[in-house]
Structure 1
Amino acid sequence: MKIKISADSTIDLPKELIQKHDIAISPLTISLNNKNYRDTIDIEVDDIYQAVDAGSEVPKTSAVNVYEYIQLFEQFKDYDKVIHFSLGSLFSSSHQNALLAASEFENVEVIDTENLSAGSGLLVLKAVELREKGQSADEIVTEIRSLLPKVKVSFMVDTLEYMRKGGRIGSLTQQSVESMKIHPVISVVNGKMKIGKLIHGSLKRSLLKYCVAILENKEKFSSDRLIIAHSGLDQALLDEVINKVKEANYFDEIIVTRAGSTISTHSGPNTLGILGILK
């Protein structure tokens, strides 16, 4: 059975993995300084940070439109099945647009990942794994949908500046939190982002606290794979987190990836997430 796997650009997997597994990508649009860019293609995260530091507004992100999805799916009309992974439907209209486009084809199945960033990426990699084992498209879709509530995603944020500039919080909230050196942990729960723990301390100390708290409950996760995603972090700090995870000697595969423009636009630099699938 010839199965094609495609996904929105928000899956935040390393480019080498996307190329290795021949995953087709549909890019969201990033609007910065009155210009539109294709996520992961025309703009890099550091370009956004430089622009915001220079006084630009935080960029806006736009969903993939129906016509763009039709163009994507049209390329694979000769496949037995196309399984497309969309950004969570509560985060973007991309999912609804993908469904509308898929209705024009008999071979396209759209999965609402109910997630973002490498949380969606974990599901894509699982689908690749099942395809390589020879499972049918229906079997893959059924297995993936059973995993949706088990995807565990959280990020620790260093600055609330991007959320404030994006209108998600007020300036007083930002000043209060940052003056007390509090680092919020944002989790995805039932398809929505929610602020969970508040970790107090320097960036380094808070990152390690966040990491240790997750590893204390590592047995709740499937040991197959863990993803460490960051939006731009000092390499020495990143290495400390990676080493902590490796020292746990629990996960068979640890993937380190740079979060793309969509998540970074909302979180800003020095954000780090640890993502896995629960048993």
Structure 2
Amino acid sequence: MMERICIAADSTFDMTLEMVQQYGIEVSASYVRMDDTDYLDYPDLKQSDLFDYFRRSKKLPQTAAANPNDYEMLFKQCLENHDAVIFIAKSSGMSSCYANAVIAATEMENVYVIDSLSISSGSALLAMEAVRLKDTMSAKELVEHLTAYRDKIVGSFIIETLEYLHEGGRCSTLAYLGASALQIRQSINIRDGKLVVGKKYMGTYKRALKEFIETMLAQHELMDPSVVMISHSIQDEAMLNGLIDQIKQLNYFEKIIPLSVCAAVACHGGPNAFGLFFVHK
């Protein structure tokens, strides 16, 4: 008899409610604070609410991880009809989600917490792989497989404005003003679970996006063709469709899955951030 394994994840993996139901994944929400009120970032908080709040108040919404108690409740709920839980946590290099989930798990049997070393679609790719294989191996074997698979996931974002990073204290005033004046668009790579500054693109954001996709997918034949994921906060649907078309023109990926980024990502990347995530062969 195979173990019945429950796959669960932090809401920062950005899957839509529809996908979560389709894959049968349990979700732990994080918190967002605006005007002294705490909201859950999942499933009802919209990107536009965050951006409207910032425009109105000139203050960034504050994001906070779920606490150990939240995780403990989730794990207990999962274990009611499963033998084991594998939890995909937001990168330990970006948040205390992983640490808090580990605190909750240490008190419990058969709860495995995986540091996704990623965020957004990077964590979603890990969760999708977990669901694909959960009925074919034990929880321990699946954890081993996912830990190796995690190292093949690559992700990078480009952001239109450094305003949100600057406001959050993650980018100096000088860099912010320089980039604004010179129309420099910054890309940000996920490396070893942390956000690191990537290539700079010059000119209009439309042009920068096109170049970013070309650069990211230049060596697409080294990527697993089954799926490429988009994580974005693009506000204009026509613009998003144009970018998806650019990827389609490669005739390489079987599936292109666009996901809207959660509050934690949107609060740093601001409107119109665009990320690509894929798996190395």
Do both proteins adopt the same fold according to a TM-score greater than 0.5, normalized to the shorter chain? yes
What do residues 122-178 of structure 1 show as CA deviations (whole Å, max 9, x unaligned)? Answer: 10011111125x233222211110022211010000001101111112222211102
**Which amino acid is 1:192 matched to?**
K
Q: 2: CA distance between counterparts of 1:184 and 1:114?
A: 21
Report the equivalent of 2:132: 129
Which residue, out of 109, 112, 117, partners 2:115? 112
Report the equivalent of 1:182: 184
- Aligned to 2:221, what secondary structure does the other structure show? helix
Which residue, out of 40, 52, 56, partners 1:50? 52
- Pairing 1:1-279 to 2, within 5 Å after superposition: 1-78=3-80, 79-131=82-134, 134-279=136-281
- Aligned to 2:86, what secondary structure does the other structure show? strand
Distance apart, 1:42 and its partner CA = 4.6
What do residues 238-272 of structure 1 show as CA deviations (whole Å, max 9, x unaligned)? Answer: 11110111111111211111111110011100100
State the TM-score, normalizing by the size of structure 1: 0.96
CA contact (8 A) 2:158 2:187 kept: yes
State the TM-score, normalizing by the size of structure 2: 0.96
**Which amino acid is 2:83 matched to?**
D
CA contact (8 A) 2:17 2:43 kept: no
**Which amino acid is 1:110 matched to?**
V
Divergent runs of 4+, >4 A: none
What do residues 204-232 of structure 1 show as CA deviations (whole Å, max 9, x unaligned)? Answer: 11101111112211012111211011113
**Which amino acid is 2:256 matched to?**
I
Q: 2: CA distance between counterparts of 1:265 and 1:110?
A: 26
Q: 2: CA distance between counterparts of 1:253 and 1:241?
A: 14
Identity over the aligned pairs, expressed in percent?
34
**Which amino acid is 2:126 matched to?**
L
Q: 1: CA distance between counterparts of 2:216 and 2:166?
A: 28
Q: 1: CA distance between counterparts of 2:76 and 2:58?
A: 37
Q: 2: CA distance between counterparts of 1:33 and 1:166?
A: 16
- Aligned to 2:151, what secondary structure does the other structure show? helix
C-alpha RMSD of the superposition: 1.2
Q: Number of matched residues? A: 278
Q: 2: CA distance between counterparts of 1:155 and 1:233?
A: 16
Distance apart, 1:41 and its partner CA = 3.2
Q: 2: CA distance between counterparts of 1:4 and 1:142?
A: 16
Structure 1: where are the runs of 5+ without partners? Answer: none
